[in-house]
A and B are shown apart, each in its own frame.
Chain A
Amino acid sequence: MSHGRDADPALLAVYQAEVLELLDSLGATFEQLRAEESAGRAELLRAAMRIAHTIKGSSRITGFDTIVELAHAMEDTLKSFDEIAAAEQLERITLLFEAIRVTGDVVEGKCGADEASAMAARLKSRFSEPANESARKAPPSLGPGPPGVNSSITGENSSELEKQSRAQAEAPPLGSKWARVDLRRLDHLMNAVHELVLSHQMVGSIDREFLFAAESLFAQAKIADPADHKPDLEASARLLERRRSAAEPLFSLSEQVLSAAQKLRMVPLHSLLPQWKRTVGEAAHALSKRIELHSDIGELELDRHVLECLKDPIMHLIRNAVDHGIESSSERIQRGKQPTAIVQIRARIAGTTATIDVSDDGRGLDIDRIRAQAVRQGLLEPEQAASMQANELSSCLFHPGFSTAQRVSTLSGRGMGLDVVREAVRELGGRVEVKHPPALGGATFSIEVPVDIALVRGLLVSSGNVKFVLPVEHIRRVLRVPAEQLHWIGNTCYANDELGQPLTIQPLWPSLPIPNAKGRLLTVVWMTHGRKPLGLWVDELFEEHFFLTHAPPWNLRRVSGIGAFVVLDDGRPAAVIDVSTLFDRTTLKPSHEPIHIREIPRILVVDDSLSVRTLVRTTLQSAGYEVIAKADGREAWQALSESSFSLVVSDVRMPQMDGLELVRRIRSSETLKNLPVILLTSLDKPEDISAGAKSGANEYIVKGRFDQSRLLEAVARFV
């Protein structure tokens, strides 16, 4: 007999919480039943039987067979309850209370499974015989019981019964480690937290601009009359500094609240394991095959919505594996395989992406049959099909209506399914593909989805004066391509990458024409989707960071190219590009002319003032430069030793190591001595400027007189 204690610990915890809640509800129902004279008894009995039935079902899935036995005995005990005399009813209720206690103890591990069996036996021996005819009352008006208990159940009564049972089960017991929360409340909380974070972002953005303006004002006032003592100004400066210090934890706190709220939505993947096991078991039984389900999914958790949407696709892949992939036991023996086949589900997480592989050790994909079928269905030309590799051909499996199954079964083979799997995964911003070589020798289908659809790490870009977000996981690098080195064949534009391979270049939106004016340098984001490359022409690059995503409005959910929306600091939404749809538009054309590709200049910005750092960084990023920002000379020196830069823009007065020392170190370094440095400082005395020049700086800009265009002009001179 199977014992539930061997179940996965996380699943066990969920099962325990559920059964303990149900037992509490059952106890409350028995209490009412004991007190209730006549009205409402029928409903109470139905509810009690339903709860016992639910406990039985959950215990069966989790492997608590003795609890299954006990719950079944409880159902039997309740079955003819209203037909017996009041004295015997009380006796039964007393024993049922004991059964509740035993069930709880076994589930919590306070006693062994044998006690549940013993309790079940007591209930059976005491109440299994027909009740004394003389003690019988009038036939009950109980009506239907739960499915499998009373065959006369009707839909109407059943739903009423379920409603009652649910309502009772919804109230969590005191002292439980779990709290059952209405999903609408959770969504409401998430919306409120999103709004809080967005408001903070907007306030932060305004704060940064304000602080920089105020600092400039103070600096100018000091320069205008350094001798004049201005207590009001100094007090204002201190107040501003205090405000900045006080506000910083707020941002961190709002991020923490958001993170905590997001975790509330995460559900462990192994919560699907019982379903998978059941599916494999039932399908194997139906096909007279011997199959074991192996899982290696660790503690992976996914957003509730992602998990919900993945349920059916994974189930479909499992059914396909059982039905088509795995041979019969006799065929397996003939092939020298173990008679018991394996379906394996393996899940792992990398960054913000989860990969779930469904593999089997069956006969594998028949590539020749796929090739022939693709030609027969007109998906590929014969020559094209002949030259394609297995990994390219297997993508045909996801084409609507494509099936190589020679028979149609109740499980699969109608050519409907893998395209639906692909669509479901796509809607989550993920992808599905056939992996080569397969993990277990049969076939491996691999699903990649974002762990949390509420968060995307993206690069903010603009095109046609509208900002968009490109998911970073699809970005390989950013290129600058001179317009005269673009190649056109028909309407398709392409350039060669650094290895001479053709890279199709397209605008973010089909209606935007790619400029081909000579001398124009195009910013191209090199995207990848699976193994496919694509160059995306954009106007400008902005910052890269994690964005909170929002679902598209109801009427834009099927718009090609839009995966979700984020809200920027100014409160304006920006669309997150659905990269997979971009790749659907491309047609790769060959090219033999290699082209010169320039990379974006990388600038190191060093300043201990957050507002200055932010302003300078934003200014430079808006102009298309890649920017790394550091808070002092020492951090900057560390960054210079780790990666290469085209220019340094540094403050002078900073903690740890000042800007002059940083410049001196750069000039004395063999590898960095030619690196241009711009000093951007509020020190404007002649001796300060002279010290800057002596240290080896290439340009000296006074912050008080700072304007964007001057900085950009200076930067352009050096990079």
Chain B
Amino acid sequence: MSADDLSLEKHRLLLEARARDLARPQDTITPRELLYHVVLLKLDENTIGLPIDYVREIVRPPPITPLFGMPLWFSGVICLHAQILSVIDLGLWLGIGSRSPRNALAVLCGPDGDIGALVDNCIGFRPVHADEIVPAAGHVESSPLPSTLAITRDLCTIINVPKLVGDPRLRFGTHSQTTPAAGDQS
């Protein structure tokens, strides 16, 4: 067999393989189910994912004015695009501490308005598929982090932003806010 014959044989096999692929019934193809597109954020050693549908923007934190009598996780208020925005420390809110400097602010959309969440850094974006989620729902329920939507196998915690922003503790001055989650800043 000559080199040309070999080459021809090789081509034939290749074309046969392609034909088999194309001829395969559709139902044998199992596409991955895309659950979320998330913004990846660092909070100390933790990786947090925020579904991008609920993240308006990520900016370097502007100067923050603290307010008296607020819980520790409430960092204060900022002015962003001529609007006053409340800012929380996401690490303190989630109960994972505040050991590293907060260099980024994620603006989260809520039903009543936006809120800023301080994080260490934004490290990128990624799609999250169903097969990447830790299957046992109990993991999410028993997660030490409140407002957890899901946890991926590589330990990225996806946050349930509507639940977080809708948390009654964030609404100050109402009867539901008589006992702040953390300490008092005063």
User: CA of A467 to CA of B82 in the docked complex: distance in angstroms?
Assistant: 18
**A239 interfacial contact with B, CB 8 Å:** no
Binds B, one of A47-55, A271-279, A572-580, A593-601: A572-580
User: CA of A572 to CA of B68 in the docked complex: distance in angstroms?
Assistant: 16
Task: Please name all residues of chain A whose beta carbon is closer than 8 Å to the beta carbon of B64 when the two chains form the complex.
Answer: 572
**A178 interfacial contact with B, CB 8 Å:** no
Q: Number of contact residues on A: which range applies?
A: 20 to 34
User: CA of A572 to CA of B61 in the docked complex: distance in angstroms?
Assistant: 11
* Interface of chain B residues 114 through 147 with chain A (CB within 8 A): 115
Task: Please name all residues of chain A whose beta carbon is closer than 8 Å to the beta carbon of B184 when the two chains form the complex.
Answer: 511
The contact of B82 among A195, A557, A558, by CB within 8 Å, is A195
Quote the shortest CB–CB distance from B70 to chain A (angstroms).
9
Known A571-B63, A571-B79, A573-B77: A551·B84 in contact at CB below 8 Å: yes
Task: Please name all residues of chain B whose beta carbon is closer than 8 Å to the beta carbon of A567 when the two chains form the complex.
Answer: 79, 82, 84
Binds A, one of B8-16, B26-34, B45-53, B168-176: B168-176
Task: Please name all residues of chain A whose beta carbon is closer than 8 Å to the beta carbon of B69 when the two chains form the complex.
Answer: 509-511
**B112 interfacial contact with A, CB 8 Å:** yes
**B24 interfacial contact with A, CB 8 Å:** no
The contact of B68 among A198, A466, A565, A573, by CB within 8 Å, is A466
User: CA of A511 to CA of B82 in the docked complex: distance in angstroms?
Assistant: 30
The contact of B79 among A198, A510, A554, by CB within 8 Å, is A198
Quote the shortest CB–CB distance from A459 to chain B (angstroms).
17
Quote the shortest CB–CB distance from B60 to chain A (angstroms).
12
- Which of A552, A571, A573, A574 neighbours the largest number of chain B CB atoms within 10 Å of its CB? A573
Contact B173 A558, beta carbon cutoff 8 Å: yes
**B25 interfacial contact with A, CB 8 Å:** no
Contact A557 B186, beta carbon cutoff 8 Å: no
Known A570-B63, A571-B63, A572-B79: A512·B84 in contact at CB below 8 Å: no
Closest to A572 in B: B63
**A559 interfacial contact with B, CB 8 Å:** yes
**B67 interfacial contact with A, CB 8 Å:** yes
Contact B82 A191, beta carbon cutoff 8 Å: yes
Quote the shortest CB–CB distance from A577 to chain B (angstroms).
12
Quote the shortest CB–CB distance from B118 to chain A (angstroms).
15
Contact A511 B68, beta carbon cutoff 8 Å: yes
Task: Please name all residues of chain A whose beta carbon is closer than 8 Å to the beta carbon of B58 when the two chains form the complex.
Answer: none
**B100 interfacial contact with A, CB 8 Å:** no
**B81 interfacial contact with A, CB 8 Å:** yes
Q: Mark B73-103, 1 if CB is under 8 A from A, else 0.
A: 0000111011111100000000000000000
Q: Which residues of B contact A (CB under 8 A)?
A: 62-69, 77-79, 81-86, 110, 112-113, 115, 170-174, 184, 186
17 contacts between A and B (CB under 8 A): A198-B82, A466-B67, A511-B69, A552-B84, A553-B115, A555-B115, A555-B170, A558-B173, A559-B173, A562-B67, A565-B77, A567-B82, A571-B62, A572-B63, A572-B79, A573-B84, A574-B65
